[in-house]
Amino acid sequence: MIVYYREIGYIRIITIEVKKVFKIGYRTIKSAVGAGVAIAIAQFLQLDFYAGAGIITILCIKQTRKSSYETAWERFLTSVIGLMISWLMFENFGYHPWTITLLLLITFPIMVGLKAKEGIPAASVIISHLYTLQHIDWHVMVNELGIIVIGILVAFIVNSYMPSSEKKLLESQRKIEQNFKRIFREMAIYLRYGESNWDGKELMETAEWIKEAKEMALHNIENHSAEEEKAMHRYFQMREKQFEIMERIMPTVSMLNHTCDQSQQIAIFLEELADAIHPGNTADIYLERLEQMKREFREQPLPVDRIEFETRACLYFFVGEMKRYLIIKKALTQKKSTPDSSNNSSTKKMDPSPN
C-alpha cells in the first residue's frame, strides 16, 4: 500500500494505492506453454539437455512482437558465439573453473560490443552444457544448435499471437475524456462560488491512466505497426501535454476572486469547453473566444492596486495556457488531415479527435 499526498491550487489530494501482487498475463501464459512445447520437441528428438530449449524459449518471449524478434536474433548470435569460443577454449585449456572465468571474460565483452547483451543468459546456458559434458564433438555441436533453434522457433510461433489492445485503449480514452470534463467543470464551480467540495481524485486517476494508455499504445505499435496504433499513441501524447497545462492553471484559478466579472467569464468558458470534449474539431472556435477575452481584458481600466494587478496577471496567464491547450489539439488534427491518415478509416475510428 502506497499513500500519496499532493497539493494543486485549492485541491489537496491524498491517494491510497493498493498494488496488485499477483497477476497472470499473456506473457506468462505464453512463456509457460512455449517452454513446455520446446522441451517436448527437444525431448522427442532425443537431444541432450532438452530442458535448455524451454529456457531459451522463455528468454525469447517479450512484451511485444518487435522486441521478441530482436531478442531472438541476439540469443541466436550470442549462443553461436558462445558455442564456437567454448569449443576453442575448452579444447585448448581443458575443462576447469578458471577456463570458464577466462571464457566469460572474453565472450561477454564481445556480445556487449555487438549490442547483443540480451543474449548473454542464453549463451551462458550453452557454455554450462559444454562444461558439464567435458567433451565437444560434432554430435555435441549439432545437439546444442538444435536446442537453440528449437527454443527460438517455438518462441517465434508462440509470440506471433499478440492480442490487440484497441478495446482497452478506447476505454482509457473515454475515461480520460470524462475526467477532463469533470476537472474543467470543478474549476468553473470554484470560480463561480469561491469554494468546492471536490477531492481532486480525478487528477491522480488521469495522470495514471494517461501513463498506462501511452505504454499500451506503444506496445500496440510494436506489435501491429498500423497507422491506427500510431494515431492512438499520438492522441495520448496530446492528452498528456494538455493535462500538464490543466495542472498548471489550477493554482492560477485558485488565485482568482469569484466576485470579479472576469472569473464568471472564465467559468462560462470552462463549462463550454468541457461540453466540447467530443468527436470533432472545435479548437478554432475556442481559440477565437480566447482572443476575444484577451481583447476585452485589454480594454478594461488599468489595475489600481496590487490585488487588481495580480488578478490581471492571472487572467493573461490563463488565456495563454488555454491557448496552448487548444493549439496542441489543433496540431494533432492537422497531422491527421494529411493524405496518409485522412484516408484511413481505422484511424478515424480509433482517434475521434476530441478537444
What does the pLDDT look like over 83-136, one tens digit per residue?
899 999 998 899 999 999 999 999 889 988 888 887 888 888 888 999 998 888
Task: Tell me: pLDDT of 3 over 50.
Answer: no
The band of 151, judged by pLDDT with boundaries at 50, 70 and 90, is very high
Task: Tell me: pLDDT of 146 over 90.
Answer: yes
DSSP 327-349: HHHHHHHHHHTSHHHHT-HHHHH
Rg (CA), the chain: 29
Which has more confidence, 196 or 93? Answer: 93
- pLDDT of 267-318, one tens digit each? 999 999 998 886 556 678 888 888 888 888 888 777 677 877 888 888 889 8
- pLDDT of 10-64, one tens digit each? 555 555 444 444 566 777 888 899 999 999 999 999 999 999 999 989 888 877 7
Residue 8, helix vs strand vs coil: strand
What's 166-350's CATH class?
mainly alpha
Domain ranges of the chain: 26-159, 166-350
Residue 38 CB contacts under 8 Å (≥ 6 apart), including other chains: 53, 54, 56, 57, 150, 151, 154, 155
Per-residue confidence (pLDDT) for residue 18, from 0 to 100 = 47
Q: Which of 241, 254, 239 is nearest to 200 (CA)?
A: 254
Per-residue confidence (pLDDT) for residue 211, from 0 to 100 = 92
Per-residue confidence (pLDDT) for residue 111, from 0 to 100 = 87
Per-residue confidence (pLDDT) for residue 210, from 0 to 100 = 94
Task: Tell me: pLDDT of 215 over 90.
Answer: no
C-alpha pair distances (Å), 66 with each of 114, 157, 332: 19, 13, 26
- Please, what is the end-to-end C-alpha distance for the chain in angstroms? 35
Residues 136, 125: Cα–Cα separation, whole Å? 15
Which has more confidence, 186 or 262? Answer: 186
Per-residue confidence (pLDDT) for residue 280, from 0 to 100 = 56
Task: Tell me: pLDDT of 243 over 90.
Answer: yes
- What is the pLDDT averaged over residues 325-346? 62
The counts of H helices and E strands in the chain are 14, 2
Length of the chain in residues, anyone?
A: 355
